[in-house]
């Protein structure tokens, strides 16, 4: 088991870090992009994991010189996701860390997903009631790579940023953790890396 004794709290990203949902999100984005005529690049979109949906649309608009309504595209992506009716599985290694340290340390979620989506998935996996805090895209003004998500989670748990360790699966999430002054472990293909 990874040694996290130097910290007082753990903050997990959700999609792709604790729950294996990135593949389904990529499929939802692919269908959404097709609906709006937006070029879809799976690797590029995966790299935007953790960025709130509306902000992702703004980034895509800038990249492709388009002016799609972030609200309209976000609504379409949510509709596509909901019609997929998937409940992604937990990622074994990070779930084991969650359960190993939960009795001893505070645990939070810091996700770029909207609150209803996060609550649904975490409740399904019986994790929602085990959290000390949860910060979603619905709760912040600035999504990742801005540090607001992680700083808010630390504040809600009443711990200093430097007392937190973050688990993330994207470079954008890692940047957010580092900007918050927190240590970060990357999760790559379901395995924890330093």
Write out the DSSP string of 8-72: SEEEE--BTTTB--HHHHHHHHHHHHHHHT----HHHHHHTTTS-HHHHHHHHHHHHT----HHH
Q: How many domains does the chain have?
A: 2
Do 70 and 113 lie in one domain? The reply is no
The answer to whether residues 78 and 113 belong to one domain is no
Q: What is the pLDDT of residue 117?
A: 85
Mean pLDDT, rounded, of the chain = 93
Radius of gyration of the chain (CA): 16
Rounded mean pLDDT of 163-176? Answer: 96
Confidence of residue 52 (pLDDT cuts 50, 70, 90): confident
Query: Looking at the predicted structure, is the pLDDT value of residue 49 above 80?
Result: no
Better pLDDT: 74 or 25:
74
Q: Which of 17-31, 92-106, 162-176 has the weakest average pLDDT?
A: 17-31
Q: Which structural domain, as residue segments, surrounds residue 63?
A: 22-84
pLDDT of the residue at 21: 83
In a domain, 157, yes or no: yes
Is pLDDT above 90 for 141?
A: yes
pLDDT of residue 111: 95
CATH code at position 129: 3.40.50.1000
Per-residue CA distances from 64 to 39, 59, 94, 158, 168 (Å): 8, 9, 36, 42, 27
Let me know whether 98 and 55 are in one domain. Answer: no
62-92 pLDDT per residue, tens: 999 999 999 999 999 989 988 887 778 999 9
Q: Tell me, what's the pLDDT at 83?
A: 87
Mean pLDDT of 138-151: 95
Per-residue pLDDT tens digits for 13-22: 999 999 998 7
CA distance 3 to 185: 12
Is the pLDDT assigned to residue 102 strictly greater than 90?
Answer: yes
- Flag whether 110 is in a domain: yes
Same domain, yes or no, for 122 and 179?
A: yes
Give the per-residue pLDDT at 184: 98
pLDDT value of position 136: 96
- Rounded Cα distance between 5 and 140, Å, is 29
Residues 130 and 49 in one domain: no
Q: Do 146 and 73 belong to one domain? A: no
Residue 163 contacts by C-beta under 8 Å, 6 or more apart in sequence?
7, 8, 9, 154
| Residue 17 structure tokens | 């870090």
- Residue (of 187, 106, 179) closest to 148 by Cα position: 179
100 and 185 belong to one structural domain: yes
- 93 belongs to a structural domain: yes
Instruction: Show which residues are catalytic.
Output: 13
Which residue, 182, 82, 38, is CA-closest to 173? 182
108 and 43 in a single domain? The answer is no
Whether residue 148 has pLDDT greater than 80: yes
Mark whether 99 and 137 lie in a shared domain.
yes
Last-in-domain residue among 66, 84, 102: 84
What's the CATH code of the domain at 79?
1.10.150.240
């Amino acid at each position: 088991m990874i040694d996290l004794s130097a910290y007082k709290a753990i903050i997990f990203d959700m999609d792709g870090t604790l729950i294996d949902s990135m593949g389904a999100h990529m499929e939802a984005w692919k269908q959404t992009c097709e609906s709006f005529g937006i070029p879809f690049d799976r690797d590029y979109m995966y790299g935007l994991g953790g960025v709130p949906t509306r902000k992702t649309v703004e980034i895509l608009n800038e990249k492709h010189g388009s002016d799609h309504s972030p609200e309209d595209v976000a609504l379409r992506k949510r509709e596509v996701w909901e019609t997929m009716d998937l409940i992604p599985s937990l990622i074994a290694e990070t779930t084991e860390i969650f359960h190993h340290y939960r009795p001893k340390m505070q645990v939070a979620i810091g996700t770029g997903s909207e609150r209803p989506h996060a609550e649904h998935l975490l409740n399904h996996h019986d994790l929602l009631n085990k959290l000390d805090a949860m910060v979603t895209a619905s709760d912040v003004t600035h999504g990742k790579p801005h540090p607001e998500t992680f700083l808010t989670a630390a504040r809600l748990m009443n711990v200093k940023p430097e007392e937190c360790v973050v688990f993330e699966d994207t470079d954008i999430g890692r940047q957010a953790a580092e900007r918050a002054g927190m240590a970060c472990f990357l999760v790559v293909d379901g395995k924890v890396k330093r």
